A = this chain, B = another copy of it.
Amino acid sequence: MGEKLIKKPVTGMKDILPSEMEIRDYVDSVVFEVYSSFGFEHIETPAVEHIENLCSNQGGENEKLIFRIMKRGEKLDISGAASENDLADSGLRYDLTLPLSRYYANNNQSLQMPFKALQTGNVFRAERPQKGRFRQFRQCDIDIIGDPSNLAEIELINATTTLLMRLGFRGFKVRVNDRRLLKAMGTYAGFEEKDLPEVFIILDKMDKIGLDGVRSELSERGYDEEKIRKYTALFEGASDGEDGIKKLKDTLGGSLEEGIAENLSDIMTGAVSSADNAFSICFDPTLVRGMGYYTGPIFEIEMEEFSSSVAGGGRYDGMIGRFSGGEVPACGFSIGFERIISILLDKGFVVPTAPKKTAFLIERGIAGEKLAGIMQEAAELRKSGDTVLVTRMAKNKKFQKDNLEKAGYTSFKDFYRD
């Protein structure tokens, strides 16, 4: 049979044990139940995408992390290849947004309009391995395609906050902003359009380095002090309610297109309504969101107890048009599935409503009609909803039962040869 094989998973990927799977399956079922109740429809796209799509500047930094899949058969020309993309025709998807855009462009004739999509699935990124970061991980996205109105943002936020509450989370904070507001703040202060991406990257560090940190970092990069003063003044004493939006609008005046501030206010009003005060929604003019494809409102959910965000999303009206040609409005919200699982694991979360677990221990040598009768008895118990494990009685029965008790078995029945 040849040499020994490799026991460990490939670098950066992991085997999932039954105890963690139980929690993942539970979260999956709640995700499915809550999002379905909002009318989101479950879809699936292949894990593999065309290399041309993956390398099309939709994925930002993630494009550097693609797992490329080699061409096969006569299409593979190793000696004639100059670069990676000569050898690859496809790759593993690094997110669910790009595949969704392709899916919608390909299938929109068969879909409801507007289309509310629910996707869960693994994505792949060849990141440097580090604690808590994996090269294969699960994403869970909802998206509304074809609705240009803020009903999309409101439903996405309502669905996601409802989900988090159903999973037992309380006291979290939804932060909202708008990419166009961010841009207007930059141009109001006098920054040139070409400098805005860098300015936003620095602004994005506000929660780590504070306003003084932002000020000095902008200064280090050589930006004009007057612009920096005017820019950072916008964030001083900013209020995080709808009044904060109004005040900012008044300050920005003509730099801000009409309707954008009001749109964001309406999102806050519509989204917070079903909250029962279990969470708060606030305006945060420093919220940036990394991905370059956002075009309008953006949002993020954070929990005080955990440093990073647990969900993020926004409007990306430009992306689908790259597949279909026309302009198609789109808006999405993605929960950090792996983040949520690790929080639940840390909390010692126990899955509710597990069935009663019974183990039948069968002495060696029981066979034929007698065994058939035991199988029948197990089948009857299962019909009433129990889990019934039928297994051979071990030599050390006490040890066997102890282990089964650890796995949740509370009832035992021993069967002997005679």
Contact = CB atoms under 8 A, between A and B. Distances in A.
Given A37-B386, A151-B391, A17 B43 contact: yes
B389 A39 contact: yes
Nearest to A263: B367
B84 A81 contact: no
A238 interface: no
Contact of A25 (B8, B18, B42): B42
Contact of A9 (B8, B45, B318): B45
Contact of A17 (B18, B110, B359, B389): B110
Contacts of A53: 5-6
A324 B7 contact: yes
Interface in A10-67: 10, 13-18, 21-22, 24-25, 32, 36-39, 41-50, 52-53, 56-57, 67
- Could you say how many copies of this chain the assembly holds? 2
A311 interface: no
Interface stretch (A69-77, A170-178, A245-253): A69-77
B270 A371 contact: yes
A390 interface: yes
SS class of chain A's interface: helix, strand, loop or mixed? Answer: mixed
A325 interface: yes
Given A6-B52, A17-B111, A69-B70, 20 more contacts: A5-B102, A9-B46, A10-B50, A15-B106, A18-B111, A36-B355, A37-B382, A37-B388, A39-B357, A39-B359, A46-B136, A47-B124, A48-B135, A78-B78, A147-B391, A149-B392, A266-B371, A269-B372, A270-B371, A270-B375
